[in-house]
Amino acid sequence: MVCISPAEKSDIGFFKTRRTGQREGSGIILKQESMQTENLGEPLRQMRDYYDSGATRSYAFRRQQLLALRQAVLSSEQQISIALHSDLGKSPEEVYGTETGLLLAEISTALKHLRDWMHPVTVATNLVNLPSRSKIFRDPLGVVLIIAPWNYPFQLALIPLVGAIAAGNCAVVKPSELSPATSALMEKIISSIYAPQYVRVLTGEGAVLVPALMQSFRFDHVFYTGSIAVGKAVYKLAAPELVPVTLELGGKSPVVIEADANLAVAARRIALGKFLNCGQTCIAPDYLLVHETVKDRFLNMLQDTIRQFFGEDPAASYSYGKIINEKQFDRLLGYLSMGRVVFGGGYDRTRRYFAPTLIDQVALDSPLMTEEIFGPLLPVFGFSRTDEALDLIRRNPNPLAFYLFTASRQTEKQWIEALAFGGGCVNNTSWHFANDHLPFGGIAYSGTGAYHGKYTFDLFSHAKPVMKTPTWIDPSIRYPPFEGKLKWFRRLIK
């Protein structure tokens, strides 16, 4: 979800960044101007008061809010598709498969399991504390802030919100100004179903609005999806008040294709994972490492697959979108000179069209291999030995995702144990994100914390342990004087 070298300032965490391939999150990259906004403190204090009233705590209330969100999304499907087509050129099918459908599935999961998630869990009690009983209660955190990016602007804002609601919180959602149609629609939907003291969407320039929010109010948790550079800025904003932060970031997510892989299947699954949303996906394959014995054959298959998916002219394809804005387009255009284009390479700035592109002979120290690409360019490398491939991957450690294509369980085990990564797939790409039984998140530079399904509920709640001790027995061994009791302590405490 890499390789930015920000010249950090000593102020509240804002800095200029050089051109990067990363998401700009909610547009927080980044201003040095003084930040003048309307007074946000009072509306946020109203949210705190509402939370403190206990109104959000009951099962009935939480369930009602989830049902309201589901109905609002279902009623707005056409408008959602129109907004996402305007921002990113997505077809209705892609909108449902990667945005609306995932959100609806998340809501369904929460509704199905909410009562169990809320119920206190009885756990074991150790010998020294018997006959006490121990339980873990799940408390909401309070008022949380969700900062969303532009690449999947609907579901990456509202899937975290589902977990925040299910856990009993109030929430502020800050969508990206770089996807204005979707952000405006989201604000309209949320304001139509929720009181502003419960859930509100705040739109505006992230570089101004997010610092103003975090400096005027202590949130109980901040959930940020976007680039490493902006993630660092958000972390710095949170640090003075020790606000816990979840960071869903990015990285250089590699694909390894071993000699024994099913090449035809690999070509389809890699092409889908890479070129969906024009490559503007945090877990999209960022580069390929193909075993030399099958490299040429695989590249031919991959080119044929791209033609099957998007036709000879992807610019005219119903299934192929567009780059979010001219700034991102120009960044991608700069990459074309950093290697040899073996397929694709076409573009049209006026339509923000950039063709699916395969590129080789890329220098490992070029920006194409030190920055997250976040677009439809796919560098390809060959390898003969596993250690060669490992060395290349470790130049950009801790990717958000890792993908492996092989028929060998031993090879699978070797690769999974050798690399640290956020999550991934064997013989697939990207779709682990859609499995709400799996935690989704990064490691080190690709993020902190994980969510989806129950993991989102847990993220937005506090595990509150409580031990209840009966009074009908009160052994004197627990109390002073302790002289002569050491042997009993040794037996009980171990």
Q: Strands, E, within 199-304: which ranges?
A: 199-201, 221-225, 245-248, 254-257, 287-291
The answer to whether 323 and 278 are in contact (CB under 8 A) is yes
Q: 348 is written with which tokens? A: 């049209």
C-alpha span between 298 and 313 (Å, rounded): 21
Return the amino acid letter for 14: F
The answer to whether 176 and 149 are in contact (CB under 8 A) is yes
Classify 170 as helix, strand or coil.
Answer: strand
First CA to last CA distance, the chain: 43
Return the amino acid letter for 296: D
Respond yes or no: is residue 3 known to be catalytic: no
Residue among 94, 99, 177, 248 flagged as catalytic: 248
Q: Based on the number of CB atoms within 10 Å of its own CB, is 360 exposed (0-12), middle (13-18) or buried (19 or more)?
A: middle
Helix 155-166 crosses helix 101-118 at what angle (to 10 degrees)?
Answer: 10
Residue among 94, 106, 170, 282 flagged as catalytic: 282
Respond yes or no: is residue 248 known to be catalytic: yes
List domains and CATH numbers for the chain.
41-250+449-462 (3.40.605.10), 254-441 (3.40.309.10)
Q: pLDDT by residue for the chain (494 residues), tens digit each?
A: 333 322 332 233 333 333 334 444 444 433 333 334 568 889 999 999 999 999 999 999 999 999 999 999 999 999 999 999 999 999 999 999 999 999 999 999 999 999 999 999 999 999 999 999 999 999 999 999 999 999 999 999 999 999 999 999 999 999 999 999 999 999 999 999 999 999 999 999 999 999 999 999 999 999 999 999 999 999 999 999 999 999 999 889 999 999 999 999 999 999 999 999 999 999 999 999 999 999 999 999 999 999 999 999 999 999 999 999 999 999 999 999 999 999 999 999 999 999 999 999 999 999 999 999 999 999 999 999 999 999 999 999 999 999 999 999 999 999 999 999 999 999 999 999 999 999 999 999 999 999 999 999 999 999 999 999 999 999 999 999 999 999 999 988 98
CA 209 from chain centre, in angstroms, equals 21
Q: Based on the number of CB atoms within 10 Å of its own CB, is 412 exposed (0-12), middle (13-18) or buried (19 or more)?
A: middle
Q: Parallel, antiparallel, or unpaired for β 440-441 and 340-343? A: unpaired
* Closest C-alpha to 267, from 383, 430, 93, 427: 427
Q: 137 is written with which tokens? A: 């209660």
SS (H, E, C) 187-224: HHHHHHHCCCCCEEECCCCHHHHHHHHHHHCCCCEEEE
C-alpha span between 4 and 251 (Å, rounded): 10
